[in-house]
């Protein structure tokens, strides 16, 4: 390893020749003074804008980086241009490696910045490697992998049979029907997960994926002896034969009961479902059966939506007055502010003027509450508190509402959706209006 900055031309040429085949650019830098010398000239990327030799390498590198580094990658690359950061990362003699995108001659290229600590511990080598070929090879591998997955019969997310497997099964059944072969009785079940787009938009695709997986388990556990296929993002199809066919009406009722419970308690996916039986001598192909099942599924979906609206209307009928849009926007704004500081804790905020509150979705799901938005939520939450803790809970809430502006700690037990009790620490607060009257009541609930 090179030990000093005073290199003769012969040594420099030998180093440059040895490294030119691997790195497209290299600088030898004195950590203390910042003096630097170019060992390998950029011949591929045409980037950096650095002179062949000079002083204050770290400042110059930071100044030049924004002119050629992709904005999304700039921050992580700037790490390698700070002396303290470099020494901390290299103290165990492990190279500092950062990959980023750069713009060279109007073309985006992928490069790898490798920073090495020299043996004398006083110098570093800053090397730039073009890795476009690696990225192309990786992209090709991913393309081939996706192609293989498409050809496979298993859905990668849920582990059940996929659309390709469904089409193969459909083709086999169709062949028997068209050829007039004796086909044993079967029924087609079509299921669709309600509200998946809204879930993905508001809670993220990772949460949406979990909903899909739970929906798949829910259908498979109900129709245990039938092949279940995931045929689309939120759609599932099952072909019922033998025992499941004989019990098809009871099984469909059981599936809908679970879905209805999930809708009320928010503890699982809401799945609309429809079923149709094959009519020998009438249905010309599998698709005739599928279309009837699909139509029934959409009728079930509409009925589920209507029930939800009816429940909402019945519930709002208990209220003294409905919250205005403006007050709801204010409530949501305060909820968002509280959410940013709550971390993994539960939160709630209540508009005392309308007795209308918003609660963390995680709390709603964990404890099986009706919704994240509720009127008279204090009465609802009261039913979840352990009887032995009721008195101390009521006293603490009353103390806050009497005007104590301090965050008041309270430890109590509350019943979760699965029937067990969780130990919670709550710190509540009150915000008053211009007249000094309590206007909002909120808090952070920390599970133990």
Q: What is the pLDDT of residues 391-431, one digit of tens each?
A: 888 877 776 655 554 545 689 999 999 999 999 998 888 88
Same domain, 126 and 208: no
Instruction: State yes or no: pLDDT of 318 exceeds 90.
Output: no
Burial 263-302 (b: 16+ CB within 10 A, else e): beebbbbbbbbbbbbbeeeebeebeebbebbbebbeebbe
Query: With contact defined as beta carbons under 8 Å apart, do 160 and 230 qualify?
Result: yes
Q: Count up the domains in the chain and report the number.
A: 3
Among 30, 325, 50, which residue's Cα sits nearest to residue 40?
Answer: 50
Q: pTM for this structure?
A: 0.42
Instruction: Tell whether 388 and 336 lie within a shared domain.
Output: yes
Asked if residue 358 belongs to a domain, the reply is yes
State the pLDDT confidence band at 87, using cuts at 50, 70 and 90.
confident
Q: Look at residue 316 in the predicted model and tell me its pLDDT.
A: 41
Same domain, 305 and 169: yes
The whole-angstrom distance between residue 291's C-alpha and the CA centroid of its chain comes to: 33
Instruction: Tell me, yes or no, whether 209 and 332 share the same domain.
Output: no
pLDDT on residue 414? 94
Residues of the chain with pLDDT > 70: what percent? Answer: 85
Is residue 4, in this structure, part of any structural domain at all? Answer: no
Domain co-membership, 156 together with 304 = yes
What's the rounded Cα separation, in Å, for the pair 322 and 60? Answer: 62
Instruction: Report yes or no: 329 and 336 within 8 Å, Cβ to Cβ.
Output: no
Query: Which one of 265, 293, 316 terminates a domain?
Result: 316
Residues 260 and 383 in one domain: no
179 and 305 both lie in a single domain: yes
Q: Is the pLDDT of residue 359 over 90?
A: yes
Tell me the residue range of the domain where 392 lies.
325-447
Q: Are 13 and 19 in contact (CB under 8 A)?
A: no
Statement to judge: residues 225 and 265 lie in one domain: yes
pLDDT given for residue 401 in this prediction: 59
Q: What is the CATH number of the domain that holds 179?
A: 3.30.70.270
Strand segments (E) across 382-433? 408-415, 421-432
Q: Looking at the domain assignment, is residue 141 inside a domain?
A: no
- d(Cα 2, Cα 184) in Å, to the nearest integer? 81
Asked whether residue 228 falls in the same domain as residue 280, the answer is: yes
Domain of 430: which CATH number?
Answer: 3.30.450.20
Domain end position, chosen among 96, 112, 136: 136
For 6-44, write each residue's pLDDT tens digit.
544 444 445 545 555 567 788 899 988 999 998 876 554
């Amino acid at each position: 390893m090179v030990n000093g900055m005073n290199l003769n031309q012969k040594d420099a040429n030998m180093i440059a020749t040895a490294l030119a085949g691997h790195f497209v650019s290299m600088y030898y830098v004195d950590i203390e003074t910042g003096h630097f010398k170019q060992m390998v000239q950029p011949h591929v990327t045409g980037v950096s804008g650095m002179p062949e030799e000079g002083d204050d390498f770290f400042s110059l590198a930071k100044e030049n980086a924004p002119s050629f580094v992709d904005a999304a990658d700039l921050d992580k690359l700037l790490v390698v241009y700070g002396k303290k950061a470099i020494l901390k990362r290299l103290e165990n003699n492990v190279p500092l490696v950062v990959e980023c995108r750069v713009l060279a001659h109007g073309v985006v290229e992928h490069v790898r910045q490798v920073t090495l600590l020299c043996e004398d511990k006083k110098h570093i080598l800053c090397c730039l490697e073009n890795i476009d070929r690696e990225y192309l090879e990786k992209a090709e591998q991913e393309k081939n992998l996706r192609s293989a997955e498409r050809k496979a019969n298993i859905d990668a997310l849920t582990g059940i049979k996929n659309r390709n497997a469904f089409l193969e099964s459909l083709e086999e059944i169709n062949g028997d029907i068209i050829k007039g072969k004796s086909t044993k009785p079967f029924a087609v079940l079509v299921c669709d997960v309600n509200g998946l787009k809204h879930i993905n938009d508001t809670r993220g695709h990772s949460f949406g994926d979990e909903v899909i997986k739970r929906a798949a388990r829910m259908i498979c556990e109900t129709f245990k002896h039938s092949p279940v296929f995931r045929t689309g993002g939120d759609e599932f199809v099952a072909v019922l034969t033998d025992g499941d066919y004989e019990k098809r009406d009871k099984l469909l009722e059981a599936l809908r009961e679970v879905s209805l419970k999930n809708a009320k308690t928010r503890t699982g996916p809401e799945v609309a479902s429809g079923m149709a039986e094959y009519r020998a001598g009438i249905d010309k192909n599998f698709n005739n059966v599928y279309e009837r099942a699909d139509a029934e599924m959409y009728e079930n979906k509409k009925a589920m939506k209507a029930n939800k609206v009816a429940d909402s209307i019945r519930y709002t009928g208990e209220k003294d007055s409905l919250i205005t849009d403006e007050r709801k926007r204010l409530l949501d704004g305060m909820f968002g502010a509280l959410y940013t500081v709550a971390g993994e804790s539960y939160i709630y905020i209540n508009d005392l003027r309308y007795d209308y509150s918003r609660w963390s979705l995680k709390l709603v799901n964990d404890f099986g509450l009706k919704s994240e938005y509720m009127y008279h939520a204090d009465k609802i939450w009261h039913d979840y508190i352990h009887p032995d803790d009721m008195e101390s809970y009521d006293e603490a809430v009353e103390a806050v509402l009497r005007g104590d502006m301090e965050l008041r700690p309270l430890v109590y037990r509350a019943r979760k959706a699965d029937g067990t009790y969780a130990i919670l620490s709550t710190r509540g607060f009150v915000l008053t209006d211009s007249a000094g009257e309590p206007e909002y009541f909120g808090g952070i609930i920390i599970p133990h």
